[in-house]
């Protein structure tokens, strides 16, 4: 395990090891207070964050390590026009690990190309958010006991919700998981994530109504409509408030049921639901910190390695996605991979076209 760019960078065995470490940290926190003494975490948040930023910092402090960085890019050299590559080269000379959130899709992958220390993706635009998945998976496992056979409803903004993309990828490795994707058609799951489920022959249903499926579910993963990702603000206004989980709806859910949400919520779960013992989102946020402790501790034991050499033998590919990091950091090598329905960008997973050379 080196860079954590995508949830697939953590194998199932590695996840099991992290989960067992997570359990031990919860049970014996005193044993871990000095484990990262002398280590420094670089924390680069180019986009707003409460939980992810604070939980990473707290995780590092609880392990006895230190944190440097910024949570407002306005206070960094980004405003002077510094490239991501240069920022990463500098910070990787100061810190033993770097956690980064950036609004551009594929930014963490781009950073990893220039970093001799592990890069942890704390969210790259609407693309992916692997460490939130660590929080989500550990919460389900700890509160439910197993991930196999899970009937999970994922509701809200499945198009731009990066936590959804990473969670679906991760759950696709477990047996007989049934996915119910609940969203307006405009906010359906991206094709590249559906492709993964199809490849793995996982059962999934795409529906627009929450009420009909709610009684069948073991877990409901609610998400916020991602206002900041919409190109057309009117479309956001039209779609906001589509789903609201309230105490009346909760009456139709199973007794052994869990409501998860990566948070922040806007209006998709009413405050009264918080008092229902099946509401697990605040526990989920706390477990996220323990999983991040497990991750930082594991990564802190790795030494530095030279950044990987990039040899690009593909013809020149051009990503179709205006929000891809290759559009702003134009020195990046054009990288792509083959998928069933054509070539995709290795940074953001969107379709590419080829320039004749």
Taking residues 38 to 77 in sequence order and writing x for each that binds ligand NCD by CB under 6 A, - otherwise, the string is -------------xx-------------------------
CB 243 within 8 A of CB 222: yes
Residue of 127, 162, 323, 344 interacting with ligand NCD (CB under 6 A): 162
What is the rounded CA–CA span in Å between residue 190 and residue 159? 6
CB of 90 to ligand NCD, least distance (A): 25
Tell whether residue 123 is a contact of ligand NCD (CB under 6 A).
yes
Tell whether residue 156 is a contact of ligand NCD (CB under 6 A).
no
Q: Is 8 a catalytic residue?
A: no
Backbone angles phi, psi at 336, to 5 degrees: -145, 170
CB 5 within 8 A of CB 110: no
Query: DSSP per residue over 202-235, as a string?
Result: -EEEEES-STTTGGG-SEEEE----GGG-SSHHH
CB 57 within 8 A of CB 44: no
Tell whether residue 262 is a contact of ligand NCD (CB under 6 A).
yes
Q: Is 327 a catalytic residue?
A: no
What sign results for the dihedral spanned by CA atoms 195, 197, 200, 203? negative
Q: Is 28 a catalytic residue?
A: no
Query: In the range 76-95, which residues lie near ligand NCD by CB under 6 A?
Result: none
Backbone angles phi, psi at 276, to 5 degrees: -80, 130
Residue 190 CB neighbour total at 10 angstroms: 17
Q: Is 52 a catalytic residue?
A: yes
Count of residues for the chain?
Answer: 357
Tell whether residue 187 is a contact of ligand NCD (CB under 6 A).
no
CB 236 within 8 A of CB 230: yes
Among residues 39, 51, 109, 159, which one is catalytic?
51
Nearer to ligand NCD, 114 or 181 (CB): 181
Tell whether residue 284 is a contact of ligand NCD (CB under 6 A).
no
Among residues 101, 127, 165, 265, which one is catalytic?
101
Tell whether residue 130 is a contact of ligand NCD (CB under 6 A).
no
Nearer to ligand NCD, 212 or 264 (CB): 264
Among residues 62, 109, 127, 129, which one is catalytic?
129
What ranges in 95-190 are assigned the alpha helix state H? 107-112, 130-144, 162-171
Residue of 40, 98, 258, 263 interacting with ligand NCD (CB under 6 A): 263
Nearer to ligand NCD, 202 or 226 (CB): 226
Residue of 39, 129, 169, 350 interacting with ligand NCD (CB under 6 A): 129
What is the rounded CA–CA span in Å between residue 323 and residue 126? 9
Q: Is 80 a catalytic residue?
A: yes
Site residues (vs ligand NCD, CB under 6 A): 51-52, 123, 129, 132, 162-163, 224, 262-263
């Amino acid at each position: 395990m080196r860079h954590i760019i995508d949830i697939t960078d953590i194998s199932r065995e590695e996840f099991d090891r992290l989960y067992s470490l997570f359990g031990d940290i919860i049970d014996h926190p005193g044993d871990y207070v000095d484990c990262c003494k002398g280590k420094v975490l670089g924390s680069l948040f180019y986009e707003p964050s409460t939980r992810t930023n604070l939980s990473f910092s707290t995780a590092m402090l609880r392990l006895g390590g230190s944190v440097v960085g910024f949570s407002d890019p306005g206070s960094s050299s980004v405003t002077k026009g510094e490239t991501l590559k240069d920022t990463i080269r500098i910070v990787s000379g100061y810190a033993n690990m770097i956690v980064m959130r950036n609004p551009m899709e594929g930014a963490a992958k781009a950073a990893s190309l220039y970093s001799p220390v592990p890069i942890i993706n704390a969210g790259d635009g609407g693309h992916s958010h692997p460490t939130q998945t660590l929080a989500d998976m550990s919460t389900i496992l700890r509160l439910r006991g197993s991930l196999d056979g899970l009937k999970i409803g994922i509701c809200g903004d499945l198009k731009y919700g990066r936590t959804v993309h990473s969670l679906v990828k991760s759950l696709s490795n477990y047996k007989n998981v049934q996915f119910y994707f609940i969203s307006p058609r405009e906010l359906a799951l991206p094709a590249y994530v559906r492709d993964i489920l199809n490849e793995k022959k996982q059962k999934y249903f795409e529906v627009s109504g929450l009420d009909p499926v709610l009684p069948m579910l073991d877990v409901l993963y609610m998400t916020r409509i991602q206002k900041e990702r919409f190109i057309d603000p009117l479309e956001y206004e039209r779609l906001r408030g589509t789903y609201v989980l309230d105490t009346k709806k909760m009456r139709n859910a199973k007794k052994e049921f869990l409501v998860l949400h990566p948070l922040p919520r806007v209006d998709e779960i009413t405050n009264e639901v918080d008092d229902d013992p099946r509401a697990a989102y605040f526990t989920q946020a706390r477990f996220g910190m323990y999983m991040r402790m497990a991750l930082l501790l594991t990564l802190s034991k790795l030494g530095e390695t030279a950044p990987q050499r990039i040899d690009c033998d593909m013809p020149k590919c051009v990503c179709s996605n205006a929000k891809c990091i290759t559009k702003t950091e134009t020195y990046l090598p054009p990288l792509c991979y083959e998928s069933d329905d054509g070539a995709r960008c290795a940074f953001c997973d969107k379709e590419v076209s080829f320039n004749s050379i």
